[in-house]
Structure 1
Amino acid sequence: MDDARLILLAVASSLGRLQVRMLRLSNRQFVASQGRLARVSRSQWTVADLSPPSEWLEATPPRTSLGGAIAAVALAQVHLLAMIEAEGPIDRRQACRVVWHISCGGGWSPILLRLAAHLGVSLAGSPLEETHGASLYQAAIPQRLKPPVV
């Protein structure tokens, strides 16, 4: 396995741990409020409620719903794992754009810039310049050319 695949595998693993943390928070139903327990619906949790905060979500707007961030991380993981599994060289710039997706429209996070440096990619000045407004929801998931070995 080449170095880009190993790096992306580590990123996908780290994002998986983040996703579990977010799911645990989203499943909490009660919070202490002035000495009493108050019921909180899942839709009220935001990225800002994650404690401790995650480096991966540093550029994510703090009022982003936790459900939206969970979905963004899941989609990014699918793309990263498909890139790892697909034959041929990794598109390192696309890998950075995939990871940027978890910021839910935010800017470049310091951890993403470090990832880009590890991958040898120089990103544009802003995500809009880099992606030209394209969304990961529109991007095709990389496909294997051969059937998987089970």
Structure 2
Amino acid sequence: MDGKRMRVCLLAFLMVFAFWGVIPSGSYASAEEPLETSFKIVENIKYLPNEVKNKVQELQWRVTDGHALVHKDGIAYVILSLGIRPTTGYAIEVDSIVRINDTRLLIWANEVKPQPHAVVSPQLTSPVQVLSMPDPFHKIKHVSVWIN
């Protein structure tokens, strides 16, 4: 293969990988930029848009934990769910959110368990936490969540 043809193939190869996100874009230079000031914890789920409420209900009564991303009216909603728990007293506490690039978020959270001698009700509960953050151009596409 001559030199010109080799350069064209290499350029095409690099463009394909850049398109797929394998090669970091220029926005990756600001990786691990904390977003802690730009997200809000939603206190009252009943005032959320219906699409978000429906996703909360879908995740809420799963046996295992889960998460979802819903865009509505320029806001990205991230829903975190612990799944079903045997008693009251469980909660989700968000530890940190890190933006990897324009499209990816990493979220670390902790499962708060009732204290050993706490008074709890023996009823099934399903702790959920909803976060909201501005995303007017729907750039956030992927969310990875770790719950300890």
State the TM-score, normalizing by the size of structure 2. 0.26
Bigger share in strand: 2
Bigger share in helix: 1
Bigger radius of gyration among the two? 2
